[in-house]
């Protein structure tokens, strides 16, 4: 195996970290844990870990009703009122500084904008990074005319996930409609049935902590047995720097092959998510001559009916041990599905707790989210995590139309704050897939400083060959 060289073009680590912990502050939730370490793995000139919500509002707007609806959402959903109690900047060796809950919502800033300058002002607004020690949610209303506004919601990923955006939009539309007397408007009553702070406190109990430590140790043993401490070999002359350099190989499937995959999934009683993960893992295993791999998947973590209507970061990154050698593709897909389902039991495990037992980190240093896996897989559409319904109408009522504006932050790339974090990211392969009725789009991403492009092209070829030859009736 070729060992990569990490060049000295960046700092070893950023020293520092918060002082003595605040005894009255809250710990991180099990879901915030991986996100905190992701933040700490990068320097400040990396793409910010924020999740915007941008809505174009056309029609006569009742600003007071909008302000009250937003305040109600922040009051009901505690995650939006959390802020860090100490240093929130990047430092690979800094521990969680604690967080506190604001008593009141953050309000709404109204900014006048010249007509035609809305998109540029959205960019300027979102370029002002959140200070998580002050707040992790900020709302700005851009007004270009009495009947033309853009609402810009800025959320730190520590308190927001994709499903939360859906909940936020629904409650905002319903709350505004209720305050303006529109038909179908339903005001929210009382606090949300799911308490984010209550979840944090339950997780912080002595009994829960002991249980999680035992389960984290058991998960780590399984991951080590599947090669978590044996990364995929580097390409010839690999030299990983602190600045990631990603390249992608298409994994797209035509409508015909996409339909073949879906038919095979129905016949095998498996999901497209598990089937795609299984086929990709088999391709990686064949090229790298591995019998076992560890994959990383994202699970929404909304394990109770109350949590399904919650705003807050509830998804978690789960390492999934896979046995990929031998047997038919049908058997492989079933085994993969069983492993993914079993991993669900660990959705409340902090990723750092598993990493501690798997020797993926030392002390308080940040652990990159894929530190223990060979392949990260994300899927949207089909039976995977649903994307935002950008075209779905929002019933604000009262002659007000709302359109979701897509916004992609400038990609500043990833610069790592430490050597181990850079290598943990570089060693992993990253696959994304979006399933529609017109086929599958997606790519296999990799840091070209570490991985051999020729090898990964073979992985893609094997994957496409498997899909094209799936036996369907």
Q: What is the pLDDT of residue 4?
A: 59
Question: Cα-Cα-Cα-Cα dihedral of 33, 35, 41, 46, to 10°?
Answer: -160
pLDDT tens digits for range 253-293: 999 999 999 999 999 999 999 999 999 999 999 999 999 99
Residue 415 pLDDT greater than 50, yes or no: yes
CA–CA separation, 448 vs 431, rounded Å? 15
> Contact at 8 Å (CB) between 272 and 264?
no
pLDDT tens digits for range 102-146: 999 999 999 999 999 999 999 999 999 999 999 999 999 999 999
Share of the chain above pLDDT 70, in %: 90
Place of tokens 């035992």: 214
Residue 446 pLDDT greater than 60, yes or no: yes
Question: What value does the mean pLDDT of the chain take?
Answer: 89
pTM, full prediction: 0.90
CA–CA separation, 384 vs 276, rounded Å? 11
Token pair, residue 269, equals 């009683």
Higher local confidence (pLDDT), 361 or 1: 361
Average pLDDT over residues 337-341: 95
pLDDT tens digits for range 56-101: 999 999 999 999 999 999 999 999 999 999 876 667 788 899 999 9
Domains by residue range for the chain, with CATH: 245-388+417-468 (3.30.559.30)
- CB atoms closer than 10 angstroms to residue 249: 18
> Contact at 8 Å (CB) between 73 and 166?
no
Q: What is the pLDDT of residue 451?
A: 97
Residue 388 pLDDT greater than 80, yes or no: no
Instruction: Name which of 323-327, 346-350, 405-409, 447-451 the model is least confident about.
Output: 405-409
CA–CA separation, 130 vs 49, rounded Å? 10
Q: What is the pLDDT of residue 181?
A: 84
Higher local confidence (pLDDT), 60 or 405: 60
CA–CA separation, 339 vs 297, rounded Å? 11
């Amino acid at each position: 195996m070729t060992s990569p060289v990490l060049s000295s073009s960046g700092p070893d680590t950023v020293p520092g970290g918060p002082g003595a912990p605040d005894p009255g502050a809250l710990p991180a939730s099990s879901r915030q844990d991986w996100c905190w370490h992701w933040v700490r793995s990068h320097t400040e000139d990396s793409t910010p870990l924020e999740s915007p919500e941008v809505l174009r509002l056309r029609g006569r707007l009742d600003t007071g009703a909008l302000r009250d609806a937003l305040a109600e959402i922040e009051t009901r959903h505690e995650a939006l009122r959390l802020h860090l109690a100490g240093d929130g900047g990047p430092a690979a060796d800094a521990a969680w500084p604690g967080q506190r809950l604001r008593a009141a919502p953050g309000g709404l800033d109204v900014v006048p904008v010249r007509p035609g300058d809305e998109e540029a002002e959205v960019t300027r607004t979102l370029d002002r990074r959140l200070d998580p020690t002050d707040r992790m949610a900020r709302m700005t209303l851009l007004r270009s005319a009495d009947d033309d506004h853009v609402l810009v919601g800025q959320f730190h990923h520590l308190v927001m996930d994709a499903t939360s955006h859906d909940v936020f939009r629904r409650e905002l539309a319903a709350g505004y409609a209720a305050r303006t007397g529109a038909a179908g408007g339903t005001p929210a009553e009382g606090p949300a049935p799911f308490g984010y702070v209550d979840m944090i406190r339950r997780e912080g109990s002595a009994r829960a902590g002991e249980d999680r430590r035992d389960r984290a140790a058991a998960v780590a043993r399984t991951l080590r047995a599947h090669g978590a401490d044996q990364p995929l070999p580097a390409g010839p002359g690999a030299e990983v720097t602190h600045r990631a350099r990603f390249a992608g190989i298409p994994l797209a499937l035509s409508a015909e092959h996409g339909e073949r995959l879906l038919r095979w999934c129905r016949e095998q009683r498996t999901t497209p998510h598990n089937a795609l993960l299984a086929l990709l893992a088999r391709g990686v295993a064949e090229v790298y001559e591995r019998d076992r791999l560890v994959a990383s998947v994202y699970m929404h973590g909304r394990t109770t009916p109350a949590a399904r209507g919650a705003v807050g970061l509830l998804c978690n990154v789960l390492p999934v041990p896979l046995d990929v050698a031998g047997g038919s593709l049908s058997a492989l897909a079933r085994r993969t599905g069983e492993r993914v389902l079993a991993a669900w039991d660990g959705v409340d495990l902090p990723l750092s707790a598993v990493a501690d037992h798997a020797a993926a980190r030392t002390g308080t240093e940040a652990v990159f989210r894929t530190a223990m896996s060979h392949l990260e897989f994300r899927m949207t559409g089909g039976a995977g995590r649903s994307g935002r319904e950008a075209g779905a109408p929002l019933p604000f009522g009262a002659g007000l139309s709302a359109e979701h504006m897509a916004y992609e932050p400038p990609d500043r790339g990833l610069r790592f704050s430490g050597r181990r974090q850079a290598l943990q990211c570089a060693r992993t392969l990253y696959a994304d897939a979006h399933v529609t009725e017109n086929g599958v789009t997606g790519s296999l991403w990799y840091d070209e400083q570490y991985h051999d492009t020729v090898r990964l092209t073979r992985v893609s070829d094997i994957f496409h060959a498997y899909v094209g030859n799936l036996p369907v009736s």
